[in-house]
Amino acid sequence: MIVVETIDKIREAVKGLQSEGKKVAFVPTMGALHNGHLSLFRLAKKHADEVVVSIYVNPEQFGPNEDFGNYPRNLERDLTFCKEEGISVVFTPSDEIMYGKGKKFLSIEIEELNDYLDGGSRPGYFQGIALVVNKLFNIVGPDVAVFGQKDYQQFQIIHQMVKEFNHDLELVMAPIERAEDGLALSSRNAYLSKEERELAPLMYNTMKKVVQEIQNGLLEPDSLLDKEQQQLETKGFKNDYLSVFSMNRMTPVSQLKKGETYLLAGAVYLGKTRLIDNIIFEC
Ligand code: AMP
């Protein structure tokens, strides 16, 4: 495994592999790796000969009052995981390498796909992600890129970006990796106190219950969703959103149709920790 910090070196490494006829898969991460990331690495390996991982906490996707400064960072441990997983190249750029110095004249705007879910709650978040992923695709030049369903809206926006900006790569979505009690794995789970960690799986349990009700025939789930959110509040969660969304346009849907596929997605705070989760289900 090689670890590289510069654009020239990552390009040289990836082009070298591709010139040997190898297919290269890329998994962008912000580090603080957990089993969710490792499941992406393993899926990437099924789609390619070699796997390249980036570890970069992207300042552009954090709002002024968000946790950029506190975001967990542990490069040494991350590199051990990457080595154990048989990763070929790890790209660990600095902010200066990613963004250079001086004024920036361009940005990426996103229409509609960004209006609800995390896009609605975190202004600038997906513009920052689209920007860094666009740059990383141009820098790394992979044949395949793997992202998690955990961030479904992110996947959808990147999918659209690949299509509209003609990135020459195949996108693969990996399922959500969960702890035994159902909590979706996340680097931010490290912020949870013992009590909060015990409470956290209630979010996914609630979501599973809602999906079950819908599949039992409840085609207008809004009042149930309101009731379940109130329940979560009484247990100590602070709600951001919990709704059914269309799979492609990322807009809320109140009247469901039998046979259609939807996304139930939620975001809550436990203390200061923001947790997101989702379930893709057929109605
Ligand atoms: P992050 O380091 O949080 O930016 O995540 C890097 C990639 O890992 C993204 O594509 C995420 O969607 C994905 N990911 C994060 N958590 C999970 C999880 N629990 N299961 C599967 N993929 C995940």
Rounded to whole angstroms, the Cα distance separating 200 from 52 reads 32
The three-state secondary structure class of 103 is coil
Annotated catalytic residue 159 = no
Q: What is the pLDDT of residue 155?
A: 98
Residue 241 alpha carbon to ligand 1 centre in Å: 20
Catalytic position from the list 37, 47, 159, 167: 37
- For residue 40, give the amino acid letter: L
- Residue 261, classified by CB atoms within 10 Å of its CB into exposed (0-12), middle (13-18) or buried (19+), is exposed
Task: Give the residue, by CA position, lying nearest to ligand 1 atom 6.
Answer: 29
- Residue ranges per domain, the chain? 2-174, 187-282
Residue 140 alpha carbon to ligand 1 centre in Å: 19
pLDDT per residue as tens digits for the range 73-91: 999 999 999 999 999 999 9
Task: Give the residue, by CA position, lying nearest to ligand 1 atom 10.
Answer: 147
Find all residues with CB under 8 Å of 29, minimum gap 6, and list them. Answer: 37, 40, 53, 54, 55, 56
pLDDT per residue as tens digits for the range 118-131: 999 999 999 999 99
pLDDT per residue as tens digits for the range 156-168: 999 999 999 999 9
Q: What is the pLDDT of residue 216?
A: 97
Fold observed for domain 2-174: Rossmann fold (3.40.50)
- pLDDT (mean) for 112-119: 97
pLDDT per residue as tens digits for the range 158-216: 999 999 999 999 999 999 999 999 999 999 999 999 999 999 999 999 999 999 999 99
Distinct helix (H) and strand (E) counts, the chain: 10, 9
pLDDT per residue as tens digits for the range 19-71: 999 999 999 999 999 999 999 999 999 999 999 999 999 999 999 999 999 99
Homologous superfamily of the 187-282 domain (CATH): Pantoate-beta-alanine ligase, C-terminal domain (3.30.1300.10)
pTM given for the model: 0.97
Q: What is the pLDDT of residue 241?
A: 98
Pocket of ligand 1, beta carbon within 6 A: 29-30, 36-37, 39-40, 147-148, 150-151, 174, 176-177, 184-187
Residue 218 alpha carbon to ligand 1 centre in Å: 31
pLDDT per residue as tens digits for the range 227-275: 999 999 999 999 999 999 999 999 999 999 999 999 999 999 999 999 9
The three-state secondary structure class of 277 is strand
